Amino acid sequence: MTVRITSSPAGRAAKPGRITTIAVVGTGVIGAGWAAHFLARGFDVVATDPAPGAEERLRADVAAHWPTLIRLGLAESASQDRLSFATDAGAAVAEADFVQENGPEREDVKHALFAVLDEAARPDVILASSSSGLLPSVIARGCPKHPERVVVGHPFNPPHVIPLVEVVPGAETTPEVVDRAVEFYTAAGKRPIRLTREVPGHVANRLQAALWQEAYSLVERGVATVADIDAAISHGPGLRWAVLGPFANQHLSGGAGGLAHVLRHLGPPTEQWWRDLGRVHLTPELAESLVAGVDAELAGTDHDRLVAARDAVLDRLLAAKAAQPDLP
């Protein structure tokens, strides 16, 4: 696949060209998902990871993801044969048109890695990090030459299935780079959202963290079991959240009056609930209780079969959403 980025250059970045080759830096769970997705969309992928046996594991992971990607729909030029591997990160990004980094979530590691990427990649090439929580301004400290081309491009796991990508600019990221990143991810089959400023955890993880805080608190206070809390979401609001977001769902809950009606009538009691939400510390005792609860909930469930079942439902859900043009 070829993506032509048409935005005019701004700042210090050189004029961008066509995107045909993606460098995937780091090939753990997230990196392997990205590699599989880009291959399925018809790109050439050059992957790199210093871990022993990384290439073999990556090729096995891509092969394992391929049946799911077939169900989701492959680009005409999609092929696992378009995957190559380089042991050196600099060599991997030297000819790439876009870089998707997936290294460990540590500032020192990011800085060392991005120093290599900044030196080796062409100045027009966007350096996107899959970081789930680090600020792009912090990551960009490893790029003394071209910090303006660093963004967070945070996917949701599994990246080869879930469409969301959060595009987050740092303090020195140019608007043109953000435009190009959003355009690229859209052309690559993703559903990017654009943050106007950076916050720890971005948007989706902060929303998840708020839910986890209360879920953990309910377990700690003995209000409900881990299994029942999971059921409360997966058989309740989670079904609606998979179709529409919290604001749109609230709007529909208000009938003809929409969100304004909901806020008038349920706003005051909701504020009371907010004041009663738990504040928890992840103590060893609470962690042990949570793990024991999940173990009890999933007792006898094969991990790989559960992942496959989840992904199969996600496949059908995504297909059903795509067939409904009225959904935002």
Query: Is 280 in a helix, a strand, or coil?
Result: coil
- Is residue 150 classed as helix, strand or coil in its secondary structure? strand
- pLDDT in the model for residue 7: 42
Alpha carbon 211 to chain centroid distance? 18
3-state percent breakdown (helix, strand, coil) of the chain, nearest 5:
50, 10, 35
pLDDT for the residue numbered 9: 35
Distance (Å, whole) CA 56 – CA 222:
46
- Print pLDDT tens along the chain (328 aa): 766 554 433 333 434 568 999 999 999 999 999 999 999 999 999 999 999 999 999 999 999 999 999 989 999 999 999 999 999 999 999 999 999 999 999 999 999 999 999 999 999 999 999 999 999 999 999 999 999 999 999 999 999 999 999 999 999 999 999 999 999 999 999 999 999 999 999 999 999 999 999 999 999 999 999 999 999 999 999 999 999 999 999 999 999 999 999 999 999 999 999 999 999 999 999 999 999 999 999 998 999 999 889 988 998 999 999 999 999 8
Structure tokens at 90: 């600099």
CB 19 within 8 A of CB 3: yes
Alpha helix segments (H runs only) across the chain: 29-40, 54-72, 89-94, 107-120, 136-139, 175-187, 204-220, 226-234, 237-241, 246-253, 258-276, 284-297, 303-322
Estimate the crossing angle of helix 284-297 against helix 226-234, to 10 degrees. 60
pLDDT of residue 11: 33
Beta pairing, strands 191-194 & 164-169: parallel
For position 217, what pLDDT does the model report?
Answer: 97
180 alpha-carbon distance from chain centroid: 18
The interaxial angle of helices 226-234 and 204-220, nearest 10 deg, is 140
Please, are residues 94 and 67 in contact by the beta-carbon 8 Å criterion?
A: no
**256: number of CA atoms within 13 Å, CB side?**
0
pLDDT of 12: 39
The residue written with tokens 């780091």 in the block is 26
| Domains of the chain with CATH codes | 19-192 (3.40.50.720), 202-321 (1.10.1040.10)
